Chain A
Amino acid sequence: MKADVQERPETASAGHVVADRVIGDVVLAVDNVSLAFGGVKAITDVSFDIRKGEIRAIIGPNGAGKTSMLNVINGFYHPNQGTITFKGKKRSQMRPYIAASQGISRTFQNLALFKGMSTLDNIMAGRALKMRRGLLWQALHWGPALAEEIRHREAVEKIIDFLEIQHIRKAPVGKLPYGLQKRVELGRALAMEPELLLLDEPMAGMNLEEKKDMSRYILTVNDQFGTTVALIEHDMGVVMDISDRVVVLEYGRKIADGTPDEVQRDQRVIDAYLGISH
């Protein structure tokens, strides 16, 4: 859990792209995963992988099992069959906070911010895993505990600068407009310095301007910190523009997997989105 993955260059917000992206080995593999709630099958025998440093999109019509897939990946749902392999470690059952401690963080389709807390506290909460001082030191709020608090505050301030939300630093998030809440949520996920960032419809309900901003943040995170991103999105334009590979789900099954171009030409994908005449 070193911060080396995430050393943020001073030029981050200025927009200088430094390194070329390198797509590496498989970081997360989903093998033959099935998930059912009672008799309802949400996911049936789906396999795909996510490679280090890529932006991987998961698309599909409503009810295709995309969010369920993310929930399986970060341990909230336990698959009935199949395994998840993250960084070479195979698992089928695990608590979500363990997935988080291994470096998976995420945002949510319907905002899941801590509504009673300020923007700053929300993002600081994302660093809970990284803070080590025990209760007694915290009770004193002095010495090592204070130093730790300040160190993490500095890291969080960098994220706040990056996402351009300085002005709402101390505002309670419950009262912020939707677009800003989405940004705070991204900030909270980034505060965990994840290796794999799962984004569930990061641009849902946004206008064009906000979508552009969000796309820029995602690309910057991916480019400069090497964070692997898996995202669910309905805006095909965005998906085709920013993702490296796309997996398509329909009724809980995988129907296509490949580069945006390949997927776009795939007959089954076209059928799924446009409907087939029987």
Chain B
Amino acid sequence: MVVFGQFLEVLIGGLLAGVLYSLVALGFVLIFKASGVFNFAQGAMVLLAGLALVRSLDFMVARGIPTWAAIVLGLLFAAVVMAITAAIIQRFVLGPLVNQDGLSLFMATIGITFVIEGAGQMIFGSDVYPLSLFPTDAWFILDGIFEGGLLVSKIDVWGGVIAGALVAVLAIFFQRTKTGRALRAVADDHAAAESVGIPITWIWFVVWLVAGLVALTAATVWGTKLGVQFSIVFLALKALPVLIIGGFTSVPGAIVGGLIVGAGEKIAEVYLGQHIGGGIEYWFAYVLALAVLLVRPQGLFGERIIERI
């Protein structure tokens, strides 16, 4: 029972941590679906959103603005920063690169990553900034069944709640609003969508904006957990294997992929890592993705591609 309890604790911790990967992966999927761009910069956008939020928050709190107002204004400020970023990216990089092949676009987003990282840290600073929007202590649950109970961290639960809310909001946005419908049309065929009068540059701006807001949401949770710092960029890279496992075009895939990666790497770390040296969380997700690629290249939820010539 103790062994099983320990396993359950690791599993729950892993699943909840996986939700954080899902949060970043969602941003990737949105952009990929709507514009076919594989956005390497999503991690940098999380960093930028986090920096904008935490720095403005600190600035306002230091000047005696009540915390709740500072949080609202800080979120607003960070949202505006993400909107400006989206507009700049759309206007100066992706607009001119329309109709280029996926690889060029991908490399362009690596360029964008560097600009965001450099500019973000230059403007907002490059230290580790603690953010405390959510409680970071833990609950002990089911202590009637397991001795000492199972440890569940509150921030992870918050992450799960926020991810769930985000998916619900996005689903409503895609299904119920005019912009959402236009977005789906653009995703299917952007030339056709343009020919029926959908303002395509506006739509792409909206996509990047939404991805930016998703990044901001991820930043609130990640920032609370780890502090806002540069290494968030590399953690966000783990969204890539998540996407490979879930499939690039699938929102449910991003969620499920995140859960698989989160749980998988925690379990592997605890049960396998101790035998081969520890720290395998560092690469486990990528190797898992590689294995999935070899068996099912389109991912668990992706569509099969028929090649034509």
A and B touch in the complex (CB under 8 A): yes
Instruction: State how many angstroms separate the Cβ of B107 from the closest Cβ of chain A.
Output: 16
* A173 to B41 Cα, complex, angstroms: 34
Interface mask (A32-52 → B, CB under 8 Å = 1, otherwise 0): 000001000000000000000
Contact assessment for A71 and B306 in the assembled complex, using a CB-CB cutoff below 8 Å: no
Q: Which residue of A has the minimal Cβ distance to B306?
A: A37
Contact assessment for A112 and B306 in the assembled complex, using a CB-CB cutoff below 8 Å: no
* A108 to B308 Cα, complex, angstroms: 11
Instruction: State how many angstroms separate the Cβ of B185 from the closest Cβ of chain A.
Output: 23
* A71 to B309 Cα, complex, angstroms: 8
Contact assessment for B306 and A76 in the assembled complex, using a CB-CB cutoff below 8 Å: no
* A108 to B306 Cα, complex, angstroms: 17
State the main secondary structure of chain B at its contact with A.
Answer: loop
Instruction: State how many angstroms separate the Cβ of B109 from the closest Cβ of chain A.
Output: 22
* Contact-size category for A: under 10
Instruction: State how many angstroms separate the Cβ of B306 from the closest Cβ of chain A.
Output: 6
Instruction: State how many angstroms separate the Cβ of A16 from the closest Cβ of chain B.
Output: 37
* A20 to B309 Cα, complex, angstroms: 36
Residues of B contacting A112 in the complex (Cβ-Cβ under 8 angstroms): 309
Instruction: State how many angstroms separate the Cβ of A108 from the closest Cβ of chain B.
Output: 6
Residues of A contacting B306 in the complex (Cβ-Cβ under 8 angstroms): 37
Instruction: State how many angstroms separate the Cβ of B112 from the closest Cβ of chain A.
Output: 25
Q: Which residue of B has the minimal Cβ distance to A37?
A: B306
Interface mask (B279-309 → A, CB under 8 Å = 1, otherwise 0): 0000000000000000000000000001001
Instruction: State how many angstroms separate the Cβ of B11 from the closest Cβ of chain A.
Output: 37
Instruction: State how many angstroms separate the Cβ of B99 from the closest Cβ of chain A.
Output: 14
Residues of B contacting A37 in the complex (Cβ-Cβ under 8 angstroms): 306
* A112 to B309 Cα, complex, angstroms: 8
* A76 to B308 Cα, complex, angstroms: 9
Interface mask (A82-113 → B, CB under 8 Å = 1, otherwise 0): 00000000000000000000000000101010
Q: Which residue of A has the minimal Cβ distance to B304?
A: A38
Residues of B contacting A110 in the complex (Cβ-Cβ under 8 angstroms): 309
* A37 to B303 Cα, complex, angstroms: 14
Interface mask (A247-266 → B, CB under 8 Å = 1, otherwise 0): 00000000000000000000
* A71 to B307 Cα, complex, angstroms: 11
* A44 to B59 Cα, complex, angstroms: 72
Instruction: State how many angstroms separate the Cβ of B307 from the closest Cβ of chain A.
Output: 8
* A71 to B308 Cα, complex, angstroms: 9
Instruction: State how many angstroms separate the Cβ of B4 from the closest Cβ of chain A.
Output: 44
Q: Which residue of A has the minimal Cβ distance to B307?
A: A76
* A137 to B272 Cα, complex, angstroms: 47
Instruction: State how many angstroms separate the Cβ of A232 from the closest Cβ of chain B.
Output: 13
Residues of B contacting A108 in the complex (Cβ-Cβ under 8 angstroms): 309
* A37 to B309 Cα, complex, angstroms: 15
* A176 to B306 Cα, complex, angstroms: 29
* A71 to B306 Cα, complex, angstroms: 13
Residues of A contacting B309 in the complex (Cβ-Cβ under 8 angstroms): 71, 76, 108, 110, 112
* A100 to B306 Cα, complex, angstroms: 22
Instruction: State how many angstroms separate the Cβ of B176 from the closest Cβ of chain A.
Output: 31
Residues of B contacting A71 in the complex (Cβ-Cβ under 8 angstroms): 309
* A110 to B309 Cα, complex, angstroms: 7
* A160 to B306 Cα, complex, angstroms: 35
* A73 to B146 Cα, complex, angstroms: 65
* A112 to B306 Cα, complex, angstroms: 17
Instruction: State how many angstroms separate the Cβ of B68 from the closest Cβ of chain A.
Output: 55
* A201 to B309 Cα, complex, angstroms: 13
Instruction: State how many angstroms separate the Cβ of B308 from the closest Cβ of chain A.
Output: 9
Instruction: State how many angstroms separate the Cβ of A189 from the closest Cβ of chain B.
Output: 14
Instruction: State how many angstroms separate the Cβ of B64 from the closest Cβ of chain A.
Output: 62
* A108 to B309 Cα, complex, angstroms: 7
Which 6 A-B pairs rank lowest in CB-CB distance, beginning with the nearest?
A: A37-B306, A108-B309, A112-B309, A76-B309, A71-B309, A110-B309
Q: What are 6 A-to-B residue pairs whose CB atoms are below 8 Å?
A: A37-B306, A71-B309, A76-B309, A108-B309, A110-B309, A112-B309
Q: Which residues of A contact B (CB under 8 A)?
A: 37, 71, 76, 108, 110, 112
